[in-house]
Structure 1
Amino acid sequence: MSFLDDFQANLESLPTILQKKYALLRDLDKSLQEIQRQNEQRCEQEIEEIKQGVKVGNIKPDSSLVRFSDEALDEQKHSIRIADEKVAMAVQAYDLVN
């Protein structure tokens, strides 16, 4: 196969490859938005629980032990992993057309 034939074959498959990558990017974006929404709700709930604990005296306002739950932190880490995957996918798509 000559260089021109190889180039043309790669060029013909490019739209399909890009379409798949962009579809995956959309799926990742939906997942990321859902995880961020859940995490925001969880953090808001935990903040309210902390405020109530301070109000009734169960938690000291200056306590260094006040922090978000492991679940909230795990959701945030998962969001970062998805965002990193989205960036890598976008770079791959860019490299295909560059």
Structure 2
Amino acid sequence: MIQQEIQQLPPSAKLVLKILEWNGEQTQKSLAEESLLAPRTVRSALDELSSLGIIEEDIFIPDARKRVYSLSQGYNDLIEPTSRSRT
């Protein structure tokens, strides 16, 4: 079910998701720099991913005004079996 919802996401949200998969937790600024997307586009992608429960938002310890984003454990649980079946 969640995989179908991921397929329906806009390309920008899929790119942000892939960057989080590859690099682990990131700030909005680092996601914008890595993806070359506008900060507003990244924010929109993060909102969509968050609404699906795919990512988690936490306080960025070095600067509490910022947030850090990472994949949720629920998303990792969904992806793990898929990854293992390919190897």
TM-score bucket of the superposed structures, by smaller chain: under 0.3
Q: Decide which structure has the larger Cα Rg and report it.
A: 1
Q: Which has the higher helix share?
A: 1
TM-score between the two structures when normalised by the length of structure 1:
0.25
Q: Which has the higher strand share?
A: 2
